[in-house]
Structure 1
Amino acid sequence: MGVDIKVKISAFCRELADASLESLARDAGQMEIYTRARTALESGTIEPTLEADIDALQAIVLAATGHGLYPTSQRGFGFLPGAARGHSAQMWLCPRAVCAGRGRVRPGQPTPTCNVSGEPLDPEQLAP
């Protein structure tokens, strides 16, 4: 089973918070790929080449560190038997709706920002 494009974009967005991925791309002589992917996200242009670029960056990271950008397992949410079906769980979502966001909203947590646009992420209710 392949990795969804939103998960790939989300993983790439997380890496933009520091210079590690950029440094790995530079060391591998692949700055063009890194720059093209970052520029695509900054401009809001999600083209078919973006997925190929992020996959190429995944291969660079995997070769350099032994660990890739993408999560190795999927997590799901389900209700316990007999539990009420309503909940107030929220997730941080990308304001441009291009990536998978950044995890669960926690009480008192400062609002994180998008590593691409700098916009605050949106807290959204999880669907039951």
Structure 2
Amino acid sequence: MDLTMGEKFAAFCRELQDPTIEGIARSNGAGEIFDRVKAAVLAGQGNAEIEADLDRLNRTVRESEGVEFYPSRVRAYRPLSGASPDSGALWWSCPAGLCAGRGRVRFGEDPPVCGATGAVLVPQPLTR
């Protein structure tokens, strides 16, 4: 699966709202990796080493539980030739730009909260 760093951060941020991934990491010898990734996400500092750590955590979860915490599908939008690049759809987005956000905004729903920072996500146009 070919995900951006932001999409990987977003998947990890969602998991921070629940202690399951941390427990799996610690019980499988990956507690230090979990701590490094969490610190990097909170600081907004992604690099190749952190991405490799995220991939190792995802692999640890897959080997332990048979599932991954990375999403199986990635959002995508490509306009027709000559059409506006704006889909009109809104996406719950990280206000700090640390991750890829949380999903399409639906009328009347409460905004989700970032599992890493506790910040309320904001609606922004889905343009990619």
Identify whether the pair has TM-score above 0.5, normalized to the shorter chain. yes
**Residues 32-51 of structure 1 mapped to structure 2, 5 A cutoff:** 32-51=32-51
Superposition deviation, residue 90 in structure 1? 0.6
What amino acid is aligned across from residue 3 of structure 1 in structure 2?
A: L
Query: Cα RMSD between the aligned structures?
Result: 2.3
- SS of corresponding position for 1:17: coil
Superposition deviation, residue 44 in structure 1? 2.0
- SS of corresponding position for 2:103: coil
Q: For residue 22 of structure 2, what is the aligned residue in structure 1?
A: 22
Superposition deviation, residue 73 in structure 1? 3.1
**Residues 19-98 of structure 1 mapped to structure 2, 5 A cutoff:** 19-77=19-77, 88-98=88-98
Q: Could you list the runs of 4 or more consecutive aligned residues of structure 1 that deviate by over 4 angstroms after TM superposition? A: 84-87
What amino acid is aligned across from residue 33 of structure 2 in structure 1?
A: I
Whether 1:109 and 2:109 are equivalent positions in the alignment is yes
Superposition deviation, residue 56 in structure 1? 0.8
Q: 2:94 & 2:16 partners in 1: Cα distance? A: 14
TM-score (normalizing by structure 1): 0.85
Q: How many residues align?
A: 126
Q: Identity over aligned residues, as a percent?
A: 38
Q: 1:107 & 1:73 partners in 2: Cα distance? A: 23
- SS of corresponding position for 1:124: strand
